């Protein structure tokens, strides 16, 4: 239920975030380092810019540019055809006074109150919005990386277990070589080869997690290839890959689902670690790891929540997928069930 809820929130993304600008990157230094739950009055002035065609799908995927300039206020007074406001300059700073003509203001609800439920970061950006988009990044990396690792692992593992001989020796040697390289170093090398950024993380993480899938598939296929239904398929003239894909792979999906769940958690941690080190998702795109990196200096200060909140989000995601992996293992392990 938790993963389903997070997936729905991350999928809706910009449609439900308080800050729907691209990458939730609406910067206002006057609002920097506000505590969770703070409420700020905003004066909204319509921007005189050419509006681009924006539909629901574009907003869902990429967000939308602000149509208003938001000015944080302490208070305001309407005096005939003018609006006098005290502009909020930041916590502990004196407010400044500005006057606007009512002719330049959309008189329909021009003052709005915005609540920053998780506060703001050092640039005045809404943390809740960046957490939601960061969850989308983490789940996307986990999903694509697991798909890549399953594709490579299933093909190589099934080929090694079914054909045996030289094929098995070559693939097993490749598995052992990749397995012997520390994961983080291998990810570094792949990232440097394919480049930093969002899509580079997909490839780098996916290419480092196929080994565990291949080892499990190889062991399962080695035992299943001697089963009677495989011999029956051979006697009917089916080619080897049809036998592997149609008759063997469906019977090893249980262990594959377990390792896929564990790999999903590993991919989230790896992406967060790479972003923390600065070679993962690049700013201004939000990432849970990047948010921890940007704000870990505040842990011993007055605003520890800036780093703690994304850290808790990473912990809960990884914990949830590990729990699912354990549950799948127990549910699919026939030997552990009482007869």
* Helix (H) or strand (E) run with residue 77 in it: strand 68-79
pLDDT tops 80 at residue 338: no
Q: Give CA separation, 153 vs 149, 213, 329, 330, in Å.
A: 6, 5, 19, 23
Alpha helices in the chain (DSSP H): 2-12, 56-62, 127-163, 165-180, 183-194, 198-206, 210-224, 228-235, 240-243, 253-277, 288-295, 305-332
pLDDT of 85-99, one tens digit each?
A: 888 887 777 778 888
Q: Give CA separation, 303 vs 209, 307, 309, 322, 329, in Å.
A: 36, 8, 11, 30, 41
pLDDT tops 90 at residue 67: no
**C-alpha closest to that of 118 among 139, 138, 134:** 134
- Contacts of 74 by beta carbon, 8 Å cutoff, 6+ apart: 41, 85, 86, 87, 88, 95
Q: Do 275 and 166 share a domain, yes or no?
A: yes
Where is average pLDDT lowest: 193-202, 233-242, 252-261?
A: 193-202
Domain count, the chain: 2
Average pLDDT over residues 161-168: 90
Give the HSE-up count for residue 79: Cα atoms under 13 Å, Cβ half-sphere. Answer: 9
Residue 7, in any domain of the structure = no
Q: Which domain CATH number covers 136?
A: 1.10.3720.10
The sign of the dihedral angle between the CA atoms of 291, 279, 59, 265 is negative
Q: Give the Cα separation of 150 and 329 in Å (integer).
A: 17
Q: Do 100 and 213 share a domain, yes or no?
A: no
Residue 232, in any domain of the structure = yes
Average pLDDT over residues 236-248: 87
Q: Do 90 and 164 share a domain, yes or no?
A: no
Residue 5, in any domain of the structure = no
Q: Do 83 and 138 share a domain, yes or no?
A: no
Q: Do 192 and 324 share a domain, yes or no?
A: yes
pLDDT tops 80 at residue 197: no
pLDDT of 285-323, one tens digit each?
A: 999 999 999 888 888 777 888 889 999 999 999 999 999
pLDDT given for residue 335 in this prediction: 53
Domain boundary among 89, 116, 143: 116
33 near 91, Cβ under 8 Å?
yes
pLDDT of 178-196, one tens digit each?
A: 888 887 788 888 888 877 7
Q: Domain limits at 155? A: 129-336
Average pLDDT over residues 250-272: 88
Q: Give the Cα separation of 106 and 44 in Å (integer).
A: 8
Please give the distance of CA 153 from its chain centroid, rounded to a whole number.
23
| Residue 248 DSSP class | I
Q: Do 320 and 269 share a domain, yes or no?
A: yes
Q: Do 213 and 301 share a domain, yes or no?
A: yes
């Amino acid at each position: 239920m938790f993963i389903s809820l997070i997936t729905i929130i991350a999928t809706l993304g910009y449609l439900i975030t308080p800050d729907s600008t691209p990458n939730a990157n609406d910067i206002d230094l006057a609002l920097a380092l506000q505590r969770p739950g703070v409420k700020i009055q905003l004066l909204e002035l319509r921007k005189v810019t050419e509006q681009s065609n924006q539909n629901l799908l574009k907003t869902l995927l990429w967000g939308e540019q602000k149509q208003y300039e938001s000015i944080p206020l302490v208070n305001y007074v309407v005096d005939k055809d003018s609006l006098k406001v005290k502009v909020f300059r930041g916590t502990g700073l004196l407010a400044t006074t500005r006057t606007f003509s009512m002719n330049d203001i959309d008189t329909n609800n021009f003052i709005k109150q915005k609540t920053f439920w998780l506060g703001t970061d050092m640039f005045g950006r809404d943390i809740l919005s960046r957490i939601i988009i960061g969850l989308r990044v983490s789940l996307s990396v986990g999903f694509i990386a697991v798909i890549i690792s399953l594709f490579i692992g299933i093909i190589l593992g099934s080929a090694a277990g079914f054909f045996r001989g030289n094929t098995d020796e070559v693939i097993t040697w490749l598995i052992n070589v990749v397995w012997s390289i520390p994961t983080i170093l291998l990810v570094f090398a792949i990232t440097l080869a394919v480049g930093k950024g969002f899509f580079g993380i997909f490839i780098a993480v996916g290419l480092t997690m196929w080994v565990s899938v291949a080892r499990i598939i190889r062991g399962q296929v080695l035992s299943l290839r001697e089963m009677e239904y495989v011999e029956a398929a051979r006697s009917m003239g089916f080619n080897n890959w049809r036998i592997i894909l149609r008759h063997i792979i469906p019977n090893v999906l249980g262990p594959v689902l377990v390792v896929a769940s564990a790999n999903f958690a590993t991919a989230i941690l790896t992406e967060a670690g790479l972003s923390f080190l600065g070679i993962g998702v690049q700013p201004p795109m939000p990432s849970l790891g990047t948010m921890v990196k940007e704000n870990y200096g505040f842990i011993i200060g007055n605003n520890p929540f800036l780093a703690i909140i994304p850290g808790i989000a990473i912990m809960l995601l990884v914990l949830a997928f590990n729990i699912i992996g354990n549950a799948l293992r127990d549910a699919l392990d026939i030997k552990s069930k009482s007869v």
